Amino acid sequence: MQRRSLLAGTAAALGGLFAVKTAAQAAPSMPDKSKVVYHLCDLDKVNFVLGNIQNHFDGVGGPGKVSIALVVHGPALKSFHAASANPDVKGKLAGFSKSLELAACGNTLKAQGVTVKDLLPGFVAVEQGGVVRIAELQSQGYVYLKP
């Protein structure tokens, strides 16, 4: 009787170890850092969104812990025209240095009659359009946020 109990216990233990190993292998691995895209089109939300981005960096322990992209189109892009940008907006963007990907909608640039050179430093033009860029980033695993 003891032999059967010992054999049954050993088989159960081996089965449990196999199940744990299989579950660990099947679990998706976590990315090294999270990826987030902020969508900004409302002129009245520019400072709010820039504040959210700063809070996001602060909350996760700095830019090394998260990749953040800001895609701007529509009326909000006017806030980033270098010639007329609010000093607060200039200061907040400068504080992000190179830790924030800045994308300006190509359609909005044309509609406003400006080029990426007319914007604050760091922006790249997204010729296919801002909403297309947002969709691309989402397909690459970016979480979509539109405050």
Together in a domain, 122 and 54: yes
82: tokens are 């270098």
Together in a domain, 102 and 39: yes
Together in a domain, 41 and 59: yes
Together in a domain, 23 and 55: no
Given a contact cutoff of 8 angstroms between Cβ atoms, the answer to whether 69 and 36 are in contact is yes
Domain region containing 125: 34-145
Please tell me the pTM assigned to this model.
0.78
The distance from CA 137 to its chain's CA centroid, rounded to whole angstroms, is 8
Cα within 13 Å of Cα(140), Cβ side? 13
Q: What is the pLDDT of residue 44?
A: 97
Hey, CA dihedral for 106, 107, 113, 119, is it positive or negative? Answer: negative
Given a contact cutoff of 8 angstroms between Cβ atoms, the answer to whether 76 and 46 are in contact is yes
Together in a domain, 12 and 52: no
Please tell me what DSSP assigns to residue 11.
H
Task: Give me the CATH number covering residue 113.
Answer: 3.40.1260.10
Together in a domain, 91 and 22: no
Together in a domain, 23 and 45: no
Q: Among the residues of 1-147, which ranges form H helices?
A: 2-26, 46-60, 87-96, 106-112, 130-139
Hey, CA dihedral for 18, 21, 25, 28, is it positive or negative? Answer: positive
Together in a domain, 62 and 25: no
Going by their DSSP bridges, the two strands 34-40 and 143-145 should be labelled as: parallel
Together in a domain, 114 and 81: yes
Digit-by-digit pLDDT tens for the chain (147 residues) are 565 555 555 555 445 444 444 444 544 444 568 999 999 999 999 999 999 999 999 999 989 899 999 999 999 999 999 999 999 999 999 999 789 999 999 999 999 999 999 999 999 999 999 999 999 999 999 999 999
Given a contact cutoff of 8 angstroms between Cβ atoms, the answer to whether 65 and 33 are in contact is yes
Number of independent structural domains in the chain: 2
Together in a domain, 24 and 41: no
